[in-house]
Amino acid sequence: MKAQTQTSLPDVYSRVTDKIIADLEQGVRPWVKPWKGGNADGRISLPVRHNGAPYQGINILLLWGEQIEKSFQSNRWMTFKQAHALGANVRKGEHGTLVVYANKVTKTDTDDQGDEIEREIPFMKGYTVFNVDQIENLAAEYRTDTEPVNSEPLELIEDAEAFFAKTGAVIRHGGDKAYYAPVQDIVQLPIPESFDTAQSYAATKAHEITHWTSHQTRLDRQLGKRFGDDAYAAEELIAEMGAAFLCAQLGLTPEVREDHAAYLDHWLKVLKADKKAIFTAASQAQKACEFLFSLQGEDEQQAA
């Protein structure tokens, strides 16, 4: 049992990426895995901190994976010190889970002319958290489990459709393929009746609308300089994770699309060659999710 620790930046990248690679090598997408676990009958909530604030980006993937692998029923996590401050304690023999914290610090330097200039220096550190299922003597309010599955899926999907409508994305139906066409700036989907379930239709729409956020008039997601020839696969990775993040907040089940199976080998190649790639993809997916929520209006915005 260890209290929170700091991990070097290169080691954080390697540890997180290696964990994602291990799942992909088993044919499992960790951003979809929660809905396939035996203890997740339906959707799963976003992981949250001790105070209820949701985790973001790469931490969502890390904590989802741990929750399913270890069959935790709660989606709430806290550090050793936070548990102690609440009068609780981590059970003897329990092992924590790595999460990361990224930010920037401002440093003042002097240029060649003697003028002061400010530079922003990014940093990242890793620290350890424990699921509340690993903690004893917590007050009941901190042991809230994930919300039960909505018993009225049709109403839930109607809410999701209202969410998509407020984005302003042009969505057309027809044919047998789902895709985003950047030149026309449209999302093309098969007619809803061609999907097995309404959940499947809505989840596929979430994937394509995540692509839609990449347009130059929105997030202007340019991946060529960062990923080179792998930019297309990187964009698909962003769309898959973005849709999973979005579905978690809209109460939908992410769609495991068979046509994406061919991307697994390519994703593995990208992640093995670049330990920072999954961080970039998760960050971009988070930005896409936040952008879509920003289009909902003040009364309905949620933390992405």
Q: What is the pLDDT of residue 267?
A: 86
Q: What is the pLDDT of residues 173-223, one digit of tens each?
A: 877 788 999 988 999 888 787 777 788 889 989 999 999 999 999 999 999
Residue 80 pLDDT class (50, 70, 90 cuts): very high
CA distances in angstroms from 293 to 43, 78, 109, 153, 244, listed in the order given: 19, 26, 38, 21, 14
Average pLDDT over residues 18-24: 85
In terms of pTM, does the model score above 0.75? no
Work out whether strand 179-181 and strand 89-90 pair parallel, antiparallel, or are unpaired: unpaired
Ranges of H-type helices in 108-221: 153-166, 198-212
Residue 144 pLDDT class (50, 70, 90 cuts): low
